[in-house]
Amino acid sequence: MSDAVAGLYRERLPSDTAPGLAPVGWARAGAANGPTRRSGTVRFEGIGKTYRSKAGEVRALEAVDAEVEAGSIFGIIGRSGAGKSSLIRLVNRLETPTVGRVLVDGQDVAALDGEALIGLRRRVGMVFQHFNLLQAKTVRENVALPLLVAGVARAERERRVDAALALVGLDEKHDSYPARLSGGQKQRVGIARALVNDPEILLCDEATSALDPETTLSILGLLRDINRRLGLTILLITHEMSVIREICTKVLVLDRGRTVETGPVWQVFGNPRHEATRALLKPLTRGLPEDIAERLGSRPAGNSASEAVVEFFFAGEREPDIAALAALFDGPMRVLSASLDRIDGRTQGRLLVAAPLPAAVLPERPELFSQAKVLGYV
Ligand SMILES: Nc1ncnc2c1ncn2[C@@H]1O[C@H](COP(=O)(O)OP(=O)(O)OP(=O)(O)O)[C@@H](O)[C@H]1O
């Protein structure tokens, strides 16, 4: 556990009557009937972050703006070193921006100190890639830790720990030590610990990156369930587009510290504008079939059998109209590969086709597709 993270648990409240300690949200008896919150917004305004050390300066973030709505699941994606951790750690002030402001429910995080900072950290839970569980403590003791340092009385502590463990589906193993748990169970404990203070915002720092694909899906399902039941805001960082596709409603793509695109997931996936976004999407899409790739040339062969290989992207309310697409070409259109998805009631996806190109370039037809690109000729 880093010093900064350990600091989250070291800070003590003066007494268990401190403001904000009364059980709220799910922790309130009988409050499991759905979200009622309106708080939990995060706003990044003109964020810049430069690390300075003897080795020199590293510009980790530059001019990042973003608005995270209360109750949404907002994903931040980027390649290694893009600045994801630097950005998410500003929300609970594990880091401070060099320029710009982070507002949580309209409150500038930099202006908080003492009890107000402790209050913020209670409202913002955090889940880590490597779980950060204390090996010498049992599951119950790990989950109880934030309540213990906040001075919550024993009976209330036990009630909240039981409720948090039930919420994450860990009804057994309460007295086990972390070494006896699977990766998925460890992460459930990490999530229970993050929820035990009934936060309004949950930060997930590569929460599934250490897990196998099946366990990843079950943890993402749990996060989605928690978001729906409790109405809390989830802000997650990942380098996997599949994680974003699975649970996020909005996404921000970071590249070398800058925002390269942001918007609803269906839109960014269905109409990727930046090379970094396309590269991150690659694992989700099939490449060219091998035999086609081998024959692909940059110019038409100049005979009547020559076909263009065209990549279409789709993002919108309507599914691709194959007949209308085929009518754009001077002959039969063959579908080489297709990947289509429905996210938030919108279709997004990609279609690879081979067909004889008309003499003119492909027209822009926003009602039919969001992008079309000739990859080459066979
Ligand atoms: N404490 C630090 N001191 C100096 N440089 C740092 C520090 N933390 C991060 N950096 C640098 O800032 C840049 C962004 O790092 P950051 O960890 O935010 O990226 P990331 O997208 O989360 O990467 P990863 O996916 O590999 O964790 C990198 O070049 C990194 O080396």
Sketch the domain layout of the chain as residue ranges: 3-279, 285-377
Q: Name the amino acid, one letter, at 74.
A: F
Spatial CB neighbours of 351, under 8 Å, sequence gap ≥ 6: 311, 312, 314, 320, 325, 335, 337, 338, 340
22 falls in which pLDDT band (50, 70, 90)? very low
Q: Specify the CATH architecture of the domain 3-279.
A: 3-Layer(aba) Sandwich (3.40)
Residue 362 has a CB neighbour count (10 Å cut-off) of 16
Considering the chain, what is the average pLDDT of its residues? 87
Range name among 20-24, 228-232, 303-307 with the lowest pLDDT average: 20-24
**Measured between alpha carbons, how far is 242 from 128 in angstroms, rounded to an integer?**
18
Task: Using the predicted structure, report yes or no on whether residue 175 has a pLDDT greater than 60.
Answer: yes
Task: Using the predicted structure, report yes or no on whether residue 123 has a pLDDT greater than 70.
Answer: yes
Please give the average per-residue pLDDT across 183-191, as a whole number: 96
- pLDDT tens-digit readout, 212-236: 999 999 999 999 999 999 999 999 9
ipTM for the predicted complex comes to 0.98
Q: Is 60 in the pocket of ligand 1 (CB under 6 A)?
A: yes
Q: Is 250 in the pocket of ligand 1 (CB under 6 A)?
A: no
* Placement of tokens 């690390």 in the chain: 51
Phi first, then psi, for residue 264 (nearest 5°) are -60, 145
Q: Is 58 in the pocket of ligand 1 (CB under 6 A)?
A: yes
Q: What is the pLDDT of residue 7?
A: 39
Q: What is the pLDDT of residue 171?
A: 79
3-class state of residue 55 by DSSP: coil
Task: Using the predicted structure, report yes or no on whether residue 197 has a pLDDT greater than 80.
Answer: yes
Task: Using the predicted structure, report yes or no on whether residue 33 has a pLDDT greater than 50.
Answer: no
Q: What is the pLDDT of residue 282?
A: 84
Phi first, then psi, for residue 229 (nearest 5°) are -75, -40
Q: Is 47 in the pocket of ligand 1 (CB under 6 A)?
A: no
Q: Give nearest CA residue, ligand 1 atom 4.
A: 51
Shortest-distance atom of ligand 1 to CA 89? 18
Q: Is 78 in the pocket of ligand 1 (CB under 6 A)?
A: yes
Same fold for the pair 3-279 and 285-377: no
Q: Name the amino acid, one letter, at 355.
A: A
pTM of the complete model: 0.84
CA-CA-CA-CA dihedral for 143, 148, 154, 160, to nearest 10 = -40
Return the CA Rg of the chain. 24
Shortest-distance atom of ligand 1 to CA 51? 4
- pLDDT tens-digit readout, 328-373: 888 899 999 898 888 888 999 999 999 987 656 778 888 999 999 8
- pLDDT tens-digit readout, 250-264: 999 999 999 999 999
Q: What is the pLDDT of residue 1?
A: 42
DSSP states along 153-213: -HHHHHHHHHHHHHHTT--S-TT--GGGS-HHHHHHHHHHHHHTT--SEEEEESTTTTS-H
Q: What is the DSSP letter of 138?
A: -
Task: Using the predicted structure, report yes or no on whether residue 19 has a pLDDT greater than 80.
Answer: no
The CATH number of 285-377, from 3.40.1190.20, 3.60.150.10, 3.30.460.10, 3.30.70.260, is: 3.30.70.260
Shortest-distance atom of ligand 1 to CA 55? 4
**Measured between alpha carbons, how far is 180 from 256 in angstroms, rounded to an integer?**
39
CA-CA-CA-CA dihedral for 219, 222, 223, 226, to nearest 10 = -160
Q: Is 53 in the pocket of ligand 1 (CB under 6 A)?
A: yes
> Residue 31 corresponds to which tokens in the numbers above?
């409050």
Q: What is the pLDDT of residue 358?
A: 65
Q: What is the pLDDT of residue 318?
A: 84
Where are the extended beta strands (E) located within 279-318?
Answer: 308-316
Q: Is 80 in the pocket of ligand 1 (CB under 6 A)?
A: yes
Is 4 or 126 the better-scoring residue by pLDDT?
Answer: 126
Q: Is 256 in the pocket of ligand 1 (CB under 6 A)?
A: no
Q: What is the pLDDT of residue 37?
A: 57
Task: Using the predicted structure, report yes or no on whether residue 153 has a pLDDT greater than 90.
Answer: yes
> Residue 368 corresponds to which tokens in the numbers above?
């039919």
The answer to whether 193 and 128 are in contact (CB under 8 A) is: no
How much distance in Å is there from the Cα of 56 to the middle of ligand 1? 14
Give whole-number Cα distances, 305 to 291, 292, 297, 309, in Å.
Answer: 16, 14, 14, 13
Q: Is 9 in the pocket of ligand 1 (CB under 6 A)?
A: no
290 falls in which pLDDT band (50, 70, 90)? confident
Range name among 153-162, 223-232, 299-308 with the lowest pLDDT average: 299-308
Number of H helices, E strands in the chain: 12, 14
Q: What is the DSSP letter of 86?
A: H
Q: Is 239 in the pocket of ligand 1 (CB under 6 A)?
A: yes
How much distance in Å is there from the Cα of 83 to the middle of ligand 1? 6
Where are the extended beta strands (E) located within the chain?
Answer: 42-53, 56-68, 73-78, 99-104, 107-108, 124-128, 201-205, 233-238, 250-255, 258-264, 308-316, 334-343, 346-355, 371-377
Mutation test of ligand 1: which of 5, 44, 51, 208 has the most ligand atoms closer than 8 Å to its C-beta? 51
Shortest-distance atom of ligand 1 to CA 78? 21
